[in-house]
Amino acid sequence: MAYDESNIFARILRGEIPCDKVYEDDHALAFKDINPQTPTHILVVPKGPYASFDDFSAQASEAEIAGFVRAAGKIARELGVVAPGYRILANTGPDAHQEVMHFHLHLFAGKDLGRMIKPPEK
């Protein structure tokens, strides 16, 4: 999948549009989802130009992958959601309804999240 530099998260990373930032380091930027699905709903994005988890897992360097995963864990600890629990999710491709073509983790927390993903309402 080719990376499109005009995607919304690339624009946020370049500072062209604002975000409600909760964390930033060399490898990751995290900000509040604009349409939160849970009381805590954070998006964690790598700094590099990766379109999806598939792209990131295949193309990113060991340092980028390690730095990104360390950042995601740190963000959860800083948010205080480790003890109550949280869910990490990465939509990848059409069947997962990935909307923004810059790899991101959703971090959901702040309520009982249930055991599994619900099917869409019919």
> What is the set of active-site residues?
104
Q: Find the shortest distance in angstroms from Cβ 42 to ligand AMP.
A: 10
Residue 52 in the binding site for ligand AMP (CB under 6 A): no
Stretch that binds ligand AMP, among 31-39, 49-57, 67-75, 76-84 (CB under 6 A): 31-39
Main-chain phi, psi angles of 3, to 5 degrees: -90, 130
CA separation for the pair 45, 32 (Å, rounded): 11
Q: Find the shortest distance in angstroms from Cβ 19 to ligand AMP.
A: 5
Between the CA of residue 115 and those of 40, 65, 66, 112, what are the distances in Å? 17, 27, 28, 9
Residue 5 in the binding site for ligand AMP (CB under 6 A): no
